[in-house]
A = this chain, B = another copy of it.
Amino acid sequence: MELFYSNDIGGDLCRLDAEESAHCVRVMRHRAGDQIHVIDGDGTLLTCRLIADNPKQAEAAILERTPRWNTHPYRLTIGCCPTKNNERFEWFVEKATEVGVDVIVPLIGERSERKVYKADRARRIALSATKQSLKARIPEITEPVSVRSFVARAPQDDNCHSERSEESLRLIAYCFEDANHPRRSIKEALEGYAGTDITVLIGPEGDFSPEEARLALNNGYIPVHLGPSRLRTETAALTAVQAVYLAYSL
């Protein structure tokens, strides 16, 4: 099954942009009359009939809408400090999208080696991984934000979906020991939570600073560890996604 993406949907018609049109008409050789599958990037699969096989702007009539298609039963926000090596963070974006994530927030920590992050490439990777893994909702990749300002936000601002009312679970994974705030395992924290709205923060190569961790704890974050292995930043972030995915997938 091949998916196309449209951000131009109106009434019973959808239009593909130049890149998607070229892929649909030139590469896949679809012609007017063919049935194609289009995602709206927000969770809905559109079963369509191609009506204009223009390789610069293809157009299709929507036959059927399947909302919440191939979705996961949780809402997960990962705040993660982009790695010095950009490829490693992009790899995380691809894998997290395949497994199931909703919002990725590039965090800039006090100890971040990367203080500037451009999200454009990661957004293209997320779109491609969404289509490849047969999902209809593209994870949102926000603009970068500092750890301090992110942890100070109210829970309902963690992501763009404001209809949520349940108490969210906010976790921060760091590596140092703090006798006053013993960390539990992420698995244990997830098992003790009955809701579906989870935020996990993952620090940079040099970890969060104690001050950032303190600020997070003051704002309701629960300190967790990711098990006994020493993981790279991007591996830690994916381990958090997998822990949530596995916790909800039985």
**A42: CB under 8 A from chain B?**
no
Are A133 and B229 in contact (CB-based, < 8 A)?
A: yes
Which A residues between 97 and 135 are near B, CB-CB below 8 angstroms? 98-100, 132-135
Q: Which residues of B contact A99 (CB under 8 A)?
A: 229, 231, 235, 239
Q: Which of B98, B228, B250 is in CB contact (< 8 Å) with A185?
A: B250
Are A227 and B246 in contact (CB-based, < 8 A)?
A: yes
Give the distance to chain B from A65, nearest Cβ to Cβ, in Å.
20
Are B98 and A229 in contact (CB-based, < 8 A)?
A: yes
When chains A and B are docked, how far (Å) is the Cα of A144 from the Cα of B141?
A: 39
**A70: CB under 8 A from chain B?**
yes
**A188: CB under 8 A from chain B?**
yes
A contact set with B: CB distance below 8 Å: 70, 72, 91, 95, 98-100, 132-135, 185, 187-188, 227-232, 235, 238-239, 242-243, 245-246, 249-250
Query: Which residue on chain B has the smallest CB distance to residue A133?
Result: B230
Q: Which 4 residue pairs are nearest across A and B when measured between Cβ atoms?
A: A227-B249, A242-B242, A134-B230, A133-B230
Query: Which residue on chain B has the smallest CB distance to residue A96?
Result: B235
Contact sample, A vs B, 7 pairs, CB 8 Å cutoff: A70-B230, A95-B235, A95-B238, A99-B235, A133-B231, A134-B230, A229-B245
Q: Which residues of B contact A239 (CB under 8 A)?
A: 99, 242, 245-246
Q: Which of B100, B187, B231 is in CB contact (< 8 Å) with A229?
A: B100
Residue from A70, A98, A187, A229 having most chain B Cβ neighbours under 10 A: A229
Q: Which residues of B contact A238 (CB under 8 A)?
A: 95, 238, 242
Give the distance to chain B from A28, nearest Cβ to Cβ, in Å.
19
Q: Which residues of B contact A227 (CB under 8 A)?
A: 245-246, 249
Are A232 and B132 in contact (CB-based, < 8 A)?
A: yes
Give the distance to chain B from A186, nearest Cβ to Cβ, in Å.
8
Give the distance to chain B from A68, nearest Cβ to Cβ, in Å.
12
Q: Which of B91, B98, B235 is in CB contact (< 8 Å) with A231?
A: B98
Q: Which residues of B contact A235 (CB under 8 A)?
A: 95, 98-99
Q: Which residues of B contact A135 (CB under 8 A)?
A: 229
When chains A and B are docked, how far (Å) is the Cα of A243 from the Cα of B242?
A: 8
Query: Which residue on chain B has the smallest CB distance to residue A249?
Result: B227
Q: Which residues of B contact A249 (CB under 8 A)?
A: 185, 187, 227-228
Q: Which residues of B contact A134 (CB under 8 A)?
A: 230
